[in-house]
Homo-oligomer: A and B are copies of this chain.
Amino acid sequence: MESKFEHQLVLWPADDLNLRLQRVRRLMSEAGLDAVLLSDNTNAFYITGRVIRGYIYIENSGRTLFFVRRPSGLLGDNIHQIRKPEDITAILGNTAARTIGLELDSLAYSMVERLRKVFPDSEIGNASPVMRGARAVKTPLEIYLITESGVKQTEAYRHIPHLYQEGMTDIEFQIEIERELRLGGCLGQFRVTGDDMEIYMGNVLTGDNADAPSPYDFAMGGAGASPSLPVGADGTIIRPNAVVMVDVNGNFNGYMTDMTRCYSAGEPSAEAVKANELSRKICHAVADAAVAGAAASDLYKMAVAMADEAGMAQYFMGHRYQAGFIGHGLGITINEAPVLAPRSRDVLEAGNVIAVEPKFVIPGVGAVGVENTFVVQPSGPAKCLTLAPEEIVNLQ
């Protein structure tokens, strides 16, 4: 697999990299930052196409420098091999920017204090909102990669009905789904923004477990297999005719799609079918309204109004605990901007990629509903990238 390509530090084509840097620089200007220093794995991947240990220094009007700790021997322009962040001081000399943004929302406090000393004459600002904003609008290559993940996730989901065997627990079913996705090229890893979120590969919910509250900010809960990872499948046996909600990992290339589908071990109940149809209706109505310029909070309100009108408000986005959003941006991580929530100030732009997940948790039925990933278009409705059949699929 060795090739010259592999040794290039920046794996993105120059045009696509330039689009990313242009967005970053425009938002740097708005934030009053003369430079940003990035080291987060997600931001390193965003800029270079690979994870490195080191720092990417982007001047607003000028250079993009790469201070690489590991691996060594990468090729490209402006690469400086360093052993520790303090080596940056000597390399920049008196050219360090006046105001430098660090990733204050993700970098540990101690690390920020250490980096502050690397730039003794600079003022430190926050690069996190800049990068969050830049990454919210995807480049053509990012949309290509997300589309590819959607195709592969859709293909893997088509095999899910064949994986069920009578008497399985939710965990056993999930394990076969994990294997199927992995064989289809899924990397498994679920990148999230923020330290508080943890999950392994995905969430499979059936029965009353769907209503078990979780400490995490995912749309759905579940007790999980252990109090050390309290989310998702908990060992519940999948009962005859019970609905099973499957929401598992769509990371096939570092960019993710998010798709939820429901299955049932036999004929689903009329109540489950009705809730699933309502979820589909809301999901696609939101996508139709997700035009450039739409307020994310309006999309949230529209979804809640539709659930309310159908008399299903008390089951919408959970029952014992209700999530405070119906959709979220995604890309390198599963929770990017924009957020479809009541107090969101986000306004949709062409190139936003959003997952819309208007789900229900109904006592005696469980979790029901669909989730799809959409790209916001320059005009017209958002385009769906997750194309597995949306009906509740009979597993028998």
Which residues on A are within 8 Å of B, measured CB to CB? 1, 6, 11, 40-41, 45, 49-54, 69-73, 102, 104-112, 126, 128, 171-172, 175-176, 178-179, 182-183, 185, 187-189, 191, 195-196, 198, 200-201, 213-217, 223, 225-230, 234-236, 253-254, 321, 332
Contact = CB atoms under 8 A, between A and B. Distances in A.
A234 B1 contact: yes
A187 B229 contact: yes
Nearest to A41: B198
B104 A51 contact: no
Given A104-B109, A171-B182, 7 more contacts: A45-B228, A71-B321, A73-B213, A178-B179, A187-B226, A187-B229, A188-B200
Contacts of A102: 109
Contact of A229 (B112, B126, B172, B189): B189
A234 B2 CA distance: 11
B175 A179 contact: yes
A51 B231 CA distance: 10
A41 B215 CA distance: 10
Nearest to A217: B53
Nearest to A183: B175
A46 to B, nearest CB: 10
A11 B227 contact: yes
Contacts of A176: 179
A176 B183 CA distance: 10
Contacts of A171: 182
Contact of A53 (B111, B196, B236, B332): B196
